[in-house]
Structure 1
Amino acid sequence: MKAFLNLFLLLSLISSCSKIEENNDPIIGIWQNTVKTATNTKKMVVDNEEWIFNDVYLGRFHGYKDGKVVFLTDFKWTVENGTYIVSYPGTDFPDDLVEMKKTEEATILVRMEGKIFAEKQD
């Protein structure tokens, strides 16, 4: 009887667990940008930028100089009406507002003013 009760409790626990919602947003993945001029207020000197977007609306930003990581921070992201909002808690970086565009060559994120933010890596 005790084994039956344990089995019943186990099955009840398993069946009551909520299902984790799957996030398959096309922004998930690695995005890169080759920097021509520094665009942030601190004039961070980097030559490449990389954003890694994950499925729980978080990510990691890396700034590279000569192939070495010289800056990294976490970020959060949301999407509202096709506009992605990337925020960098704990920094003085302003939020990035970008839209996804597909070209014949690549999928890119474009800032609201029209400048390329990053290109998706395969």
Structure 2
Amino acid sequence: MKKLFSLMAIIAIVLSANCSRIEQNDDPIIGIWVEASTLSEESTFKTTVRKEWIFNDVYLGRYHEINGNDITLKTDFKWSQENGIYTVEYRGLEDKPNDMVTIQNNEQGVLLQKTDGDLLAIKE
């Protein structure tokens, strides 16, 4: 009787472990998106400012602002998508408003475009 109970317990464990699969998220926003600009302080000295969004598959991400070689701002964000419009909600930054963007394809590549028409970032 103990063997039968042990066998049934093992079968129940195996079956319950197989039922809890994590659904894979293959949204096209997942990846690294960048905006880079060059600021000229003098004619011979240039500083590059790079903004970087890293979107992951569990609806979270990390945002960086890099000035030259120094990270000047780093924060986490969460993202969601509804009817093709992505909302990026920054955590811990009260002065940074949420971004509402769509994904656009053109000759430059894959772009994140704000709902007001401005370019936010290009996919790396």
Report TM bin, short chain. 0.7 to 0.9
Mapping of 1:33-72 within 5 angstroms? Answer: 33-35=35-37, 47-72=49-74
Gaps of 5+ in 2: 40-47
Gaps of 5+ in 1: 38-45
| Structure 1 residue identity aligned to 2:29 | I
**How far is the alpha carbon of 1:7 from its aligned partner?**
4.7
Cα distance change, pair 6–69 in 1 and its aligned pair in 2 (3 A): farther
**How far is the alpha carbon of 1:19 from its aligned partner?**
1.7
Cα distance change, pair 104–10 in 1 and its aligned pair in 2 (3 A): farther
What is aligned with 1:13? 13
**Partner deviation per Cα, 1:48-96 (whole Å, 9 max, x = no partner):** 1000000000000011000221110000000010000000122212110
Residues 1:99 and 2:102 aligned together: yes
What is aligned with 2:92? 90
Distance in 1 between residues matched to 2:83 and 2:53, nearest whole Å: 21
What's the TM-score once normalised by structure 2's chain length? Answer: 0.80
Distance in 1 between residues matched to 2:98 and 2:51, nearest whole Å: 16
Identity of aligned residues (%): 42
More strand by share: 2
